[in-house]
Amino acid sequence: MGARLVLLGPPGAGKGTLAAWLTEQHGLAHLSTGELFRQQIRRRTALGNTVSRYVTSGQLVPDELVVRVMTSQLTRPLLRRGFVLDGFPRTTAQAQGLERFLESRNAPLTAAIALTSPVPVLLKRLSGRRVCGKCGAIYHVRNIPPKRAGICDRCQSALIIRKDDQADTIRQRLRIDRAQAKPLLTYYRRRGLLHGLHADSSSGRMFTRATRLLRVQGWLNARDGARA
């Protein structure tokens, strides 16, 4: 049976990047809260319609509903394969709901991996986004740079920095995230499931550290160990 993992960490820490790598290298299913919500809404399922009403009205989706949407994807074949959750759980109530579901399937959570990065590193990653003020195309000064600095490839208009991507706004987002994350980190720490992973440098180094953690904890089967 594959590992069942939760990824925690602030915006810009690299949760999506690590989740994609775990899927590619170790065969774990990657479940993203945002993507699953969008799928449910696009398909106009009963859950999707309910989620849509909260989202369009600017309200937070209730914990119970978030748990229902996420656990609806955790089929028995997927539980055997193993998975990595990105963006869920976000609250202690959601973590408790996930725990009850997994225990009812005799497939308890393997671990919660908390990615950590210094604030200057997070600021550098998050503040690199640039947006075309005319056509809306999105770039990143390091990851997706335009052909000409400050100029949109599509329409040749000037690129701008949105308020959400300005340093002061990012710092505020990180402060809020840090405060909201404390109860969840405490929850998993008390259950002996919390493991830290430094994500303060390149993706390659983060992947190396992740592989080491998986091996040391015995979360890799023989096939995974050989491939890593």
Is the domain of 52 the same as that of 99? yes
**What amino acid positions are annotated as catalytic residues?**
15, 90, 129, 162, 173
Domain of residue 159: give its range: 129-165
Specify whether 48 is located in the same domain as 141: no
Domain count, the chain: 2
Which residue ranges in the chain fall short of pLDDT 70?
221-228
Domain-terminating residue out of 165, 182, 216:
165
Asked whether residue 49 falls in the same domain as residue 123, the answer is yes
What's the pLDDT tens digit per position in 70-124? 999 999 999 999 999 998 999 999 999 999 999 999 999 999 999 999 999 999 8
Is the same domain home to 9 and 118? yes
Q: Give me the pLDDT at residue 228, please.
A: 42
State whether 152 and 182 are in the same domain.
no
Note whether 30 and 52 are same-domain residues. yes
**Same domain, yes or no: 121 and 64:** yes
Strand ordering across the sheet containing 159-160:
138-140, 129-132, 159-160
Asked if residue 150 and residue 211 are part of one domain, the reply reads: no
CATH code of the domain in which 221 resides:
3.40.50.300
Looking at the DSSP bridge assignments, the partners of residue 112 are 6, 194
**pLDDT, position 225:** 42
Provide the pLDDT for residue 222: 43
Spatial CB neighbours of 138, under 8 Å, sequence gap ≥ 6: 129, 130, 131, 132, 144
User: Domain check: are 183 and 153 in the same one?
Assistant: no
